[in-house]
Amino acid sequence: MRVRIGLEIHLELKTQSKMFCACKNDYNYEDEANVNICPICLGYPGILPSVNRRAIEYAIMLLKALNCKPSERIQFYRKNYFYPDLPKGYQITQYKFGSIGYNGYLYLNLDGGKKVGIDRISLEEDTARTIQIETGEVLLDFNRAGIPLIEIVTKPDMEKPKEVVKFLENLRLIIQYLNISDANMEKGQMRVDVNVSVDNNERVEIKNVNSIREVENALEYEINYQIEQVKLGKKIKRTTKMWDDYEKKTKEMRRKESEDDYRYFPEPDIPEFKINDFELTIKTPFDKFNELLKLGVQKEYAEIIVRDLRISNYFDEFLKNNGDAVIGSNFIVNILKSFKELPNVKEFSKLTNLVKENKIPNHVAREKLNEMKEKLNVEEILKNFEVISSEEIESIARSLIEKYPEKFFEYKSGKTGLIGFFIGEAKKMNPKIDPKQFKEIFENLEDTQRR
């Protein structure tokens, strides 16, 4: 049976003020309840909203990152419904026509692969926060009412829960690179509603999912449930469900409203406008990934660096200090990534260049990185390290060939694993020998012997 999955993602933006007024955006919910409020976000009669320019800029940045086409004219609408967390009795949002952008896509992998279509990107205001207490009462915090939200609506192009996980991970990574939101799902900064249908039946919307892992779990449960119902000859009704994190199952909440129920109409207090005057440049994780590949970084290392924002920012500074990208990426992924504090980037850049120039052996650099960690000091390493010249290494190599002529003959005959034996013997003669440098010199001597 064919499964079709689409997503509606709501993203809280970390602007300084709210979407349509000057109240503080208490983005991390740190302030006392109901202090960042005014007549505009509480919906008093006679109020006039004004659009937050920074929120528009953030939406345009995301539009570009998701390869969307910008709308020629932007229009806000009123979405009418009654709920305790909506003080005005309507939400200022956008509709199909006049959204910030439309018809984009996002790859599921950094190196391409399957595309998931983006239907549209819209701007709107958030509702108040509801808090249920032990007595069963529900409290309302209007600090959140009016916080800028971006809504991202995908096309139903995903077919497996794993694809949804990849999509959300890549989307969150893009958002963090653009620095428009922390996209922390546990804090409600990124909220995901899932629409899923099986075998061309009506779609079911799942709400109240607060982590990417739980999105996957909810989908696996709901898909299996719908398949069972279809096999029994039952119809799937268009409903809204919630995900019960404790019972690990979806539960029906209400009948799914139609668009007519919301009675959309253009917001009379905000005229249409164009976004042609916004000149913004962005850099996405996809751009960064391709840049690293061009520098010669292994694909596996490039993906690890790009997906870790702390390491990615550190690597940017490392490159600005002319560090060697290939050696640096290897050390970062295999050694530095586990450090709580990273070494001084200038010192680390110097170290990689000294390794590249064969002034410090690779194995010594690794040992010192593990030993010194964030206190890396290249001058200190050089003080206590005697550089072995190529001539000395060649002399050791020749003496080993004379000592073990039969093993050298076997090596020349194709038993290449014997290089490990010769490196071991060389390190007994001088522990400071760099295995890589010894191997290069040893192989050249082999060529000389053949001639």
Q: Which of 87, 3, 4 is nearest to 44 (CA)?
A: 87
pLDDT, tens digit (0-9, with 9 covering 90-100), for 175-193 = 999 999 999 998 999 999 9
Tokens, residue 87: 């003080």
Q: State yes or no: pLDDT of 398 exceeds 70.
A: yes
Phi-psi group of 38: left, alpha or beta (phi > 0 → left; psi -120 to 50 → alpha; rest → beta): beta
Task: Report pLDDT digits (tens) over 361-380.
Answer: 888 899 889 988 989 999 88
Q: At 162, is the pLDDT very low, low, confident or very high (cuts 50, 70, 90)?
A: very high
The mean pLDDT value for 247-271 works out to: 84
pLDDT band with cut points at 50, 70 and 90 for residue 173: very high
Q: Give, for 154, the enclosing helix (H) or strand (E).
A: strand 148-154
**Given pLDDT bands bounded at 50, 70 and 90, which one contains residue 445?**
confident
Three-state DSSP class for 198? Answer: strand
pLDDT reported for residue 427: 83
Q: Name the residue among 121, 120, 117 with its Cα closest to residue 158.
A: 117
pLDDT value for 450: 44
**pLDDT over 70 at 48, yes or no:** yes
pLDDT of residue 6: 97
In this structure, what DSSP letter does residue 155 have? -
235-249 pLDDT, tens per residue?
Answer: 898 999 999 888 999
Between 450 and 124, whose confidence is greater? 124
pLDDT band for 446, please (50, 70, 90 cuts): low
Query: 79 pairs with which residues across the strands?
Result: 91
| Token duo for residue 195 | 């629409």
Question: Rounded to the nearest 5°, which phi and psi values hold at 8?
Answer: -125, 115
Task: Label residue 346 left, alpha or beta by phi (over 0 means left) and psi (-120 to 50 means alpha).
Answer: alpha
Query: Which DSSP state fits 238?
Result: -
Residue 434 has pLDDT above 80, yes or no: no
Spatial distance between the Cα atoms of 100 and 121, rounded to a whole number of angstroms = 6
Structure tokens at 173: 């990574």
Compute the distance between CA of residue 297 and CA of residue 168 in angstroms, rounded to an integer.
26
pLDDT at position 387 is 65
**For residue 204, what is the enclosing H or E element?**
strand 204-209
DSSP notation for 398-431: HHHHHH-HHHHHHHHTT-GGGHHHHHHHHHHH-T
- DSSP class of residue 130? E
What CA–CA distances, in Å, run from 165 to 108, 171, 215, 365? Answer: 9, 10, 8, 38
Q: How far apart are CA 96 and CA 123, in angstroms?
A: 12
Residue 374 contacts residue 342 (beta carbons within 8 Å): yes
User: What pLDDT does residue 443 have?
Assistant: 79
What is the C-alpha separation between 140 and 432, in angstroms, rounded? Answer: 68
